[in-house]
Amino acid sequence: MRVLHTMLRVGDLEKSLHFYTDIMGMKLLRKEDYPEYEFTLAFVGYGDESETAVLELTHNWDTGSYDLGNAYGHVAIGVDDVYKTCEKIKEMGGTIVREAGPMQGGDTVIAFVEDPDGYKVELLEDK
């Protein structure tokens, strides 16, 4: 068994695809419209779905935004250098909501960015 994907509902698919592909460096793996049911699924990730977990971005055509609730935490992504990654994200127009630095009570370097729908993405420095 393995994790296949995590699904996020998004209000503006093009903005979300820009964030996850252009800013976060993922690849659009597949995208399919379901006109009869008025939704689109787009799968993005850093590798092939057969080898790694990916994100499923679900866009319901009649919904422009969602209540995130208080149970959602974040998606975590490992990076070589959190400080440099944050600078690149800022240069590309991304929003950093927790600047790079050691995590509270530890020495692991982390940061948090926010996608266009308000979902938090944690950047963790790979050691």
Bridge-based pairing of strands 5-9 and 54-60 is: parallel
Is residue 46 domain-shared with residue 90, that is, in the same domain?
no
- 120-to-50, 54, 80, 90 alpha-carbon distances in Å: 25, 16, 19, 15
pLDDT tens track for 11-44: 999 999 999 999 999 999 999 999 999 999 999 9
What is the domain range of residue 14?
Answer: 5-60
> pLDDT tens per residue, the chain (127 residues)?
788 999 999 999 999 999 999 999 999 999 999 999 999 999 999 999 999 999 999 999 999 999 988 888 999 999 999 999 999 999 999 999 999 999 989 999 999 999 999 999 999 998 7
Q: Which of 75, 67, 99, 74 is nearest to 86 (CA)?
A: 99
The last residue of a domain, from among 37, 60, 83: 60
Is residue 54 domain-shared with residue 84, that is, in the same domain?
no
| Catalytic, out of 32, 38, 114, 122 | 122
Cα–Cα distance for residue pair 103/110, rounded to 1 Å = 6
Question: pTM higher than 0.85 for the full model?
Answer: yes
Active site residue 122: yes
Bridge-based pairing of strands 120-125 and 109-114 is: antiparallel
Asked whether the beta carbons of 100 and 109 are under 8 A apart, the reply is yes
The CATH number linked to 26 is 3.10.180.10
